[in-house]
Each structure stands twice: as structure tokens, then as C-alpha cells.
Structure 1
């Protein structure tokens, strides 16, 4: 069967149905972009300020030669940092998938080595069974799609503690890897969307019903530590995601239809006395 491909429209990612190219659904992470993030404005300003203060002589020299270039360099501080972190995250995710599939991973770059070590520690401490990895969750019911990191089976005792010897009760979990500075609440919205999709579609385009999950967990890995944390993906959380799905429709489609053409227009070319005196 044909594989799923993705396209970008106005900065948002969309998934194209593998057999019907007319069916295009927005990606889960693009829908999550509808969440307000007022803190980003302050963080962006802080990144610019820190770069300017830490590079005063360099910025001054650049501004003397190319003022516009200096402004562009400063304004891109947050974007460059985000890209650097995203690149590390993408490379780490690739390694995590190989490790969870049992593939051999040899030496890696020094900045990735702590992530590899911590993921191996996670596998030893939890001993999960990989059920699926990097497939697409597809919802025709609510018209969205997204690539999830993994579906895992882990074993827990009656207190909810992991039993790496698999002596506890097996639990099917939607799992996600995060390499960000912290874990944020929107991961619950993301994982609830995946878990409540209609189907999962593998890289070859084969489709099967999304299984019923016992829960969800996020594996948060940094260069300093790691932790496996349970995540709530109940009906209430999924309902919040569906609100964002409607907001995405509003932002990308409906908002462009609510203001019609002017019924009456006018303009004024009157020159006031104040304007004449200023000339």
C-alpha cells in the first residue's frame, strides 16, 4: 500500500491519506499550536537581551558595518536556540527508536552520549516490550493525524510500581519521548489524541484499529537525568484537545469568512489647518 506523506501549509503540517489524496488532516502538533503561550514572548526577549549583553563588542562592531544584519542576528537568537535543541531532539529520537527495536548503536557524538546512556538505563530499569514504534495515529472521526513515538507494554505491581522481571500485571501504554528542558502539560493533550485515534497506520500504509490503552507515560530524558512519568489521557483531557481542533478550524478556515466586503466605503482628502501649518 502507498505510504503516508506529509505536506506543509501556512506553517502547519498536514498528513495525506495513503490511498485518497483528497483526504488531508492537520497534524496533532500543529493543532496543539493553537494553545496560547504568552511566556514565549518574555523568553524570546530574554534570549535577545542575553545575547546582546554577552556580545556587546561584537554586536557594536557588526552594527557599524551592517545595522540590519545586527538586528537580524539578535532577533534570531531564540529561533537558533530552538533549532539547535530540535536537532538534538530529532537525533536522540532516532537513536531511541533504534535502541527500543534492539538495534546495535555504537559510538555517538559527545552531546548525544548522555541521552543514549539514560535511555539504556530506562530499558534496564523498566524492561518494556515494544508493541509499535513511529506509526501514524489517524482519526477520520475528528480529522487529525500524528506520528507517535511508541506503544509499550510494561509490567506493574498492585501499587503501580514497575516490575522489570515482568512479574506484575501487563499494561499497554501510549509512550512518548521528550528531550526538552521539562515536561509540559500539553503532552497529555498530544498523547490523548494519539490514543483516541481511529486507526494506526504503519510506514507501508497498512491500517489497523487503534488498541485500547491502560494508560500513557512520557519518558523525559535530558543530558543530566531521566524519568518515566504517568500521563492522564482520559475523556476530559481528550475533550480539551478537541476544543483545540475546533480552534484550528477557526484559525485556518472560518476566521477568513466572517468579514465580508464593505457595504459602503468613504475617504477624506480634507486638509486641516493643523496639517497645513506643519508643512
Structure 2
């Protein structure tokens, strides 16, 4: 089995079956994107407004030379911020994977050698992830594999499957003296953690099987739960996440809405079988 390839159509990510190329499933995050997010419109407008107010003199000069360019610059404020945060998240995820695979408290390269330099912007993330490894002492089971569901038609790349040891109060026991729990785990580097992470984790955990980078497949294991590790420059938190039937039902509803939005909605309106006939007067005909 070959590696799983991804493609983008109409702004959504799709996963291509490694052997049966005709089987293409939407990504989990694209499905969750069907959730209504009215706050994003306000947030985007505020980002543009703040940029305009904070850069009023610069914008005046820009607008005098290139009005359309100035408009695009202000309108793109939210997109540039989102891309910047995505870049930070990608770099942090790469560093976390290297650290947890080697069991090291600093980042190593693919050969297991210590990285000679961690950018100052990434150092707080490295420090907090190292503290998480020490305080929780998890066992890495899988990392960055693809969860694949033919049953419900979706796929997605998850961050990690970890085994952690918890005491009777659900607190980690770094000496691994507590009860072992198999968890689906996600790393987040955004400003906050949001409820839709539960939809994401539930979808991954309910997939039919997983596919590793070499194309090997195996059934998705049974999980004892899920958790999100939220890391910011200021600190970190390891939070449990619900992945029960109620949450999965919401995800499946969004999966149906995704099909409606991308396919079914384009088929429900037929061509007009009758329509108004506009009267053309003699004067209009003669004017032609």
C-alpha cells in the first residue's frame, strides 16, 4: 500500500486512497468546517479595522499610489495572521514529534541528533513540551498517521496516540504507577482550546483503521479517552476531551452537511418549466 496523498478542491482537503485512487474522502477538519462560525466575520473585520487605524499614515501614502493595493492589504489582515499562526503551529508540531519520538527534552533531527538551533520564537514551545514529557511521561504509540473511515467516508492525520498512566483522580503518574490509558491526543498552539476539538478527536478515534507513512494499515485501536495538549509561549495544559456517541453523532451530521454543501445542493433545483413572458410593444420592436 502506498502513501496517502491529499488534494484540495474548492478550498477543502481530500484524502486519496493509497491503492484505490477513485476513493477520495474529505478531511476531518474540512468536515468540521461546516460548523457555523459567525464570530469569524466580526474577528476578520476587527483585524482589518485595527490594521487600518494603527497604520493610517502608511496606508494614506500607499493608497495615494495604489488604491487597490491598499484595499487588498487591509482586507488581507486576518488571512496573514491566520497563515502566520499556521506556520508557527506547523513548526511546533514538527518539533514536538521529533522530541517525543526520541524521548528527548530537546529537539532532534531525523537521525536522532540534537538540533543545533531552535529559533527563539520556538524556544517557549520546546521548553513547555519538554516539561509535559517530564510531568506526564507518556509512551508514544503512534504519531502523524492517517485515520481512515470507509464506513462514514472521511480521513485525517492525527497528532499522536499516547499511553499515559493515571491515578484514581485522573492525574498523571510520571513513575507509571497508575492505571494505563490509551488516548487519542492532539497538540494545539492556538490562543485557546475550542469545543470543536472534541469533534476532531472523536472522528479520528472512530475511524476504521490507520495508515502509517510506509503505507501499512491496522485497525484503529479501542481508546480509553482523548486529550488535548494546549501549549502557548506562556505555559501548557493537558485536558481530557469527550469522544462519546453524542459527539460522534454531531460529527456525522456535519459529514452529511458537507455532502449537501459540495454535491447535493447543486442538484436540487431544476430548469424552469414555465416563466413569465415579457410583453414587447410595437414601439420597442420598431426601435430595434
User: By the TM > 0.5 criterion, same fold?
Assistant: yes
> Does the Cα contact within 8 Å between 1:95 and 1:105 map onto a contact in 2?
no
CA distance in 2, matches of 1:176, 1:267: 60
Shift of 1:264: 2.2
- 1:57 corresponds in structure 2 to 57
Aligned residue for 1:182, secondary structure, equals coil
Aligned to 2:214: 204
Structure 2 unaligned regions, length at least 5: 103-107, 109-113, 282-288
Determine if contact 1:99/1:105 at 8 Å carries over to the other structure. Answer: no
Partner of 1:67: 67
Q: Indicate the residue corresponding to 1:254 in structure 2.
A: 264
Answer yes or no: is 1:187 the counterpart of 2:207.
no
Displacement after TM superposition at 1:236 (Å): 0.5
Partner Cα distance (1:187, 1:96) in 2: 19
Equivalence for 1:178: 188
Separation in 2, partners of 1:241, 1:124:
34
Q: Give the TM-score taking structure 2 as reference length.
A: 0.92
The whole-number CA distance in structure 2 between the counterparts of 1:269 and 1:59 is 52
In the alignment, which of 231, 249, 252 is matched to residue 221 of structure 1? Answer: 231
Give the whole-Å Cα distance in 1 for the aligned partners of 2:280 and 2:236: 69
Structure 2 equivalent of residue 126 of structure 1 = 136
Task: Could you list the structure 1 runs, at least 4 aligned residues long, displaced by more than 6 angstroms after superposition.
Answer: none
Pairing 1:138–2:148 present: yes
Provide the C-alpha distance between the structure 2 equivalents of 1:145 and 1:7, rounded to a whole number of angstroms.
Answer: 12
1: CA distance between counterparts of 2:278 and 2:54?
Answer: 51
User: Counterparts of 1:72 and 1:267 in 2: how far apart (Å)?
Assistant: 43
Which residue of 1 is the match for residue 170 of structure 2?
Answer: 160
Partner-residue secondary structure (3-state), 1:30: helix
**What is the DSSP-based 3-state SS (H/G/I as helix, E as strand, rest coil) of the residue aligned with 1:6?**
strand
Match of residue 159, structure 2, among 149, 155, 164? 149
Name the Cα RMSD after superposition: 1.2
| Separation in structure 1 between the aligned mates of residue 75 and residue 54 of structure 2, nearest angstrom | 15
- Structure 1 residue 107 corresponds to structure 2 residue 117: yes
Aligned length: 271
Q: Secondary structure at the match of 1:101?
A: helix
In structure 1, the residue corresponding to 2:170 is in which secondary structure? coil
CA distance in structure 1 between the aligned counterparts of 2:154 and 2:235, rounded to whole angstroms = 33
Deviation at 1:263, TM superposition (A): 1.2
- Cα deviation for residue 265 of structure 1 reads 3.3
- Report the TM-score, using the length of structure 1 for normalisation: 0.95
Deviation digits for residues 133-172 of structure 1, max 9, x if unmatched? 0000000000000000000000001111110000001000
What secondary structure, in the 3-state scheme, does the structure 1 residue paired with 2:152 have?
coil
> 2:225, 2:117 → 1: CA distance?
34
SS at match of 2:259: helix
Structure 1 distance, partners of 2:268, 2:126, is 51
Aligned-residue offset at 1:107: 2.3
Cα separation, 2, equivalents of 1:264 and 1:108: 68
1:35 counterpart residue number: 35
1:268 shift after superposition: 4.2
Note the alpha carbon deviations across 1:51-110, whole angstroms, 9 max, x for none.
000001001111111111110000000000000000000010000000010143442111
